[in-house]
Amino acid sequence: MTSQDQLTAAQRTEALEQLLTERGLVDPKVMDGFIETYETKVGPLNGAKVVARAWVDPEYKQRLLQDGTAAIKELGFGGPQGEHIVVVENTPTVHNVTVCTLCSCYPWPVLGLPPSWYKDPAYRARIVREPRTVLAEMGLELDDDVEIIVRDSSSEVRWMVLPERPAGTEDFTEEELIPLITRDALVGVAKVTL
């Protein structure tokens, strides 16, 4: 999607909201509440904050890997679809990637709404059978000696990836690290880069 398409989509969204509001079908305060929820309370920014904290605080990282749900709640994130989150760490020799082969179970409190490709039957089937190929198609080339572990989310357990911290960020503050961390890295289909 180009920036022109994004601008057009934003304009269309605003026009639709205005039309629905004028016709009394949508309460602007309710819409503002939804927007604020997905901008500040639920979403990949929350996951990025969790990862950045783990990168700068070894004790928090240990708690996160031992009990993801509790450690995530320490930062104030939780709720529906976040009742049991297990966090797994990517290393130079092991790369985790998540999927929900049955539907689209996903840790909403830390990742927001699942992207359309995550729900796509082709991704759900292929990432299990041929993870290296699917990751390469998505732009992530991994060396042959890197073990890939596919984590299948369910209604009982939702997975989140603790990505590798990129070289050159050793002196970054927690706040400087947050913008580097993407939803795709938290799912495991990308790495965090500078």
Q: Which of 3, 100, 116, 153 is catalytic?
A: 100
**Angle made by CA atoms 78, 82, 86, in degrees to the nearest 5:** 115
Q: Mind listing the pLDDT tens digit for each residue in 64-116? A: 999 999 999 999 998 888 889 999 999 999 999 999 998 879 998 999 888 89
The verdict on whether 153 is a catalytic residue reads no
The verdict on whether 3 is a catalytic residue reads no
Each domain of the chain, given as residue ranges in start order, spans 3-40, 47-187
**Angle made by CA atoms 163, 125, 84, in degrees to the nearest 5:** 50
Q: What is the largest CA-CA distance in the chain?
A: 59
Cα–Cα distances in angstroms (integers) from residue 153 to residues 47, 85, 99, 150, in the given order: 16, 9, 6, 10
Q: What is the model's pLDDT at position 32?
A: 76
Q: Mind listing the pLDDT tens digit for each residue in 28-51? A: 888 777 667 666 666 799 999 999
Residues of the binding site:
100, 103-105
Place of tokens 């198609």: 137
Q: Which fold has domain 47-187?
A: Nitrile Hydratase; Chain A (3.90.330)
Residues of the binding site for Fe(3+):
100, 103-105
Place of tokens 């830390």: 110
The verdict on whether 154 is a catalytic residue reads no
The verdict on whether 100 is a catalytic residue reads yes
Burial of 84: CB neighbours in 10 Å, binned 0-12, 13-18, 19+? middle
Residues 6+ apart with CB under 8 A from 115: 183
Please tell me whether residue 149 adopts helix, strand or coil conformation: strand
Q: pLDDT band for 171, please (50, 70, 90 cuts).
A: very high
List the one residue out of 139, 138, 129, 194 whose CA is nearest residue 164: 194
